[in-house]
Amino acid sequence: MMLEHILVLSAYLFSIGIYGLITSRNMVRALMCLELILNAVNINFLKGNIFSIFVIAIAAAEASIGSAIVSSIYRNRKSTRINQSTLLNK
Amino acid sequence: MDLPGPIHDFLLVFLGSGLILGGLGVVLLTNPIYSTFSLGLVLVCISLFYILSNSHFVVAAQLLIYVGAINVVILFAVMFINGSEYYKDFNLLTIGMALLRWFVQIIWTTRSNQIIEQDLISNSQQIGIHLATDFFLPFEFISIILLVALIGAIAVARQ
């Protein structure tokens, strides 16, 4: 009973994370939904293998670089809307 | 952890409802600070799931790194950036329906006899042995990746 419940919850968190990542207008909310996706994948590895620890370490590195990039984008352009990079649209 | 049956089931239902509500809170709340705290609730519920799965090292790693470091970094990013617009641009209902169909397909096409449960007894000593013998090269690469990522993050975020 434990096995199926964890896998169903992992699939649910993955779907919610992808929904939030697609439909979020704020960049920091997209980062948070990315962390949701990574955690959903992490909980799919049952019994806490070695690979879960590697996924946690990679998620930490990616969260720090993502927040550094978001803060430098905010410093340059004064807003963090996702659909503001339209320089290639012409 | 060998809990009695009803306590185990009650804890499963409690953590599952916490996960469901927290996941909805991350996506649907308009204030980004509220959604950051909801993300913290989701991470704590996930670490309690790891307690129920008898992998205690991942519980400590999850609490320390995810809740203690990653959530705080995201909270810093939220605090530094003012003006959070949460305005729906395009049709969200079709995307929500498509994801609901995808989610149901994930669950209903995974038959129960396809789920293979590994017999890896993962207490802390076993994880340490695996890190030192079998997974030594990924361990070194992960440490180099973390070093490069932290130096890069500081170099990008500096003035």
Q: What is the CATH number of the domain that holds B54?
A: 1.20.120.1200
Q: Which of B62, B118, B149 sits opposite A56 (nearest CB)?
A: B62
B149 in any annotated domain: no
A32 in any annotated domain: yes
Q: What is residue B2's predicted lDDT score, i.e. its pLDDT?
A: 66
Q: Spell out, as residue ranges, where chain A has pLDDT lower than 70.
A: 1-2, 46-48
Nearest to A3 by CA among A47, A55, A51: A47
Q: Per-block average pLDDT, block size 10, for chain B (159 residues)? A: 78 93 92 94 94 87 94 92 60 74 76 55 76 90 95 89
Query: Rounded to whole angstroms, how far apart are CA atoms B8 and B12?
Result: 6
Question: Which residue is associated with the tokens 């970094």?
Answer: B73
Global pTM? Answer: 0.86
A64 in any annotated domain: yes
A90 in any annotated domain: no
A68 in any annotated domain: yes
Q: What is residue B4's predicted lDDT score, i.e. its pLDDT?
A: 74
Q: Which of B95, B107, B142 sits opposite A22 (nearest CB)?
A: B95
Nearest to A2 by CA among B157, B150, B1: B1
Structural domain containing residue B75:
5-119
Number of domains in chain B: 1
Number of domains in chain A: 1
Structural domain containing residue A13:
3-81
A29 in any annotated domain: yes
**Strands (DSSP E) found in chain B:** none
B127 in any annotated domain: no
Q: What is residue A2's predicted lDDT score, i.e. its pLDDT?
A: 66
B126 in any annotated domain: no
Query: Rounded to whole angstroms, how far apart are CA atoms B51 and B61?
Result: 12
B25 in any annotated domain: yes
> B122 exposed, middle or buried (CB, 10 Å; 0-12, 13-18, 19+)?
buried
> Residue B50 in contact with residue A9, Cβ under 8 Å?
no
Cβ contact A28–B81 (<8 Å): yes
Q: What is residue B46's predicted lDDT score, i.e. its pLDDT?
A: 94
B29 in any annotated domain: yes
A87 in any annotated domain: no
B137 in any annotated domain: no
Q: What is residue B149's predicted lDDT score, i.e. its pLDDT?
A: 95
